[in-house]
Amino acid sequence: MESPPIISGFIYVAGALVFELIGGEIASIYGVDALIYAASYTIEEFLETIGVILLIYTVLSYIEFKNKSIILNLA
């Protein structure tokens, strides 16, 4: 269970840092109205979201593994 949190963290950081830097360069060259900037921004947000979703899934899987069941009341 050690690698999924690391993988999700790597995906989140790749989206947050790497594509933020790439998006900044693209914005300075082409401007923020360019389609390529919109694509890089979309990829950045997608990677961040996938990283968070994978982390939540990993934590819930770990809780299920340790407790054998999960009871969730939403009332």
pLDDT in tens, 27-69: 999 999 999 999 999 999 998 999 899 889 888 888 878 877 7
Q: What is the pLDDT of residue 1?
A: 55
Q: What is the maximum span of the chain, computed from C-alpha positions, in angstroms?
A: 53
- Residue 28 burial (C-beta neighbours within 10 Å; 0-12, 13-18, 19+): exposed
Q: What is the pLDDT of residue 53?
A: 92
**Quick check: 25 pLDDT over 70?**
yes
* pTM passes above 0.85: no
